[in-house]
Chains A and B, each alone.
Chain A
Amino acid sequence: GAVVSQHPSRVICKSGTSVKIECRSLDFQATTMFWYRQFPKQSLMLMATSNEGSKATYEQGVEKDKFLINHASLTLSTLTVTSAHPEDSSFYICSAASGGYNEQFFGPGTRLTVL
């Protein structure tokens, strides 16, 4: 299957700082990538759809000014959590679709802990 990488895999930061998470499709071009958040023992909740060259589409309840998404190229999308707070601590996962049937391949995830 297609390979998607994420960086960093784990980050611990102080409250009020900003954190950038990168999502890369390594062996295919992804015009669309998706950002999910997963709290412990819960399902994946879609945060936003990232479109190359255009603005991201955010799900209801997700603050676009807090979770900045940039999809600068066909292989890279970034999620910046601005002014992070402890309640933003979570597992953030990106995915990219490859192939004609919308198979989605997930990155390894980034565990964010805000102190």
Chain B
Amino acid sequence: QQPVQSPQAVILREGEDAVINCSSSKALYSVHWYRQKHGEAPVFLMILLKGGEQKGHEKISASFNEKKQQSSLYLTASQLSYSGTYFCGTERAWSGNTPLVFGKGTRLSVIA
């Protein structure tokens, strides 16, 4: 079942913050976040596992609330390079190498 991402699109000025949400109606084992720029392949950002952890590097972080079956990606003090489409990919259980089910994406545009 495809996770639901919100918002669908957001426009920010440089330095502003944004939150992108990813929700599932089913229990999740993990949530993966990717950023894709136009015409390029998705780039792995981070993975969050069941256990309610929060991760981050530099100004991009994420949380995973397994009870709510929801993950949020936090972008702080956004930079022009953050522009792109953000996808969450979900796993319902760990069983080795399994395909991810991706949301429809959130298009982020950062303007000067």
| Of B13-21, B66-74, B75-83, B102-110, the one touching chain A | B102-110
Residues of A within 8 A of B40 (CB): 108-109
What are 27 inter-chain pairs, A to B, with CB distance below 8 A?
A: A1-B44, A30-B97, A34-B99, A42-B104, A42-B105, A43-B87, A43-B102, A43-B104, A44-B102, A49-B99, A93-B41, A93-B42, A97-B97, A101-B30, A102-B30, A102-B47, A102-B97, A102-B98, A102-B100, A103-B32, A106-B41, A106-B42, A106-B43, A106-B44, A108-B40, A109-B40, A109-B41
- Contact (Cβ within 8 A) B96 A32: yes
- Contact (Cβ within 8 A) A32 B97: yes
Residues of B within 8 A of A34 (CB): 99
Indicate which residue in B42, B47, B49 contacts A44 across the interface (CB closer than 8 Å).
B42
A15 at the interface (CB under 8 A from B): no
Q: How far is the CA of A93 from the CA of B87 in the complex (A)?
A: 15
Indicate which residue in B2, B32, B103, B105 contacts A104 across the interface (CB closer than 8 Å).
B32
- Shortest Cβ distance from A48 into B: residue: B99
- Shortest Cβ gap from B87 to chain A (Å): 7
List chain B positions with a Cβ less than 8 A from chain A: 2, 30, 32, 34, 39-44, 47, 49, 87, 89, 91, 94, 96-105
Q: How far is the CA of A111 from the CA of B102 in the complex (A)?
A: 20
- Shortest Cβ gap from A27 to chain B (Å): 15
- Shortest Cβ distance from B107 into A: residue: A41
Residues of A within 8 A of B34 (CB): 106
Contact residues, A68-95 vs B (CB, 8 A)? 93
- Shortest Cβ distance from B48 into A: residue: A101
List chain A positions with a Cβ less than 8 A from chain B: 1, 30-32, 34, 42-44, 46, 49, 93, 97, 101-109, 111
- Contact (Cβ within 8 A) B44 A102: no
- Shortest Cβ gap from B15 to chain A (Å): 27
- Contact (Cβ within 8 A) A103 B47: yes
Residues of B within 8 A of A44 (CB): 42, 87, 102
Q: How far is the CA of A43 from the CA of B32 in the complex (A)?
A: 14
Residues of A within 8 A of B105 (CB): 42-43
Q: How far is the CA of A101 from the CA of B100 in the complex (A)?
A: 12
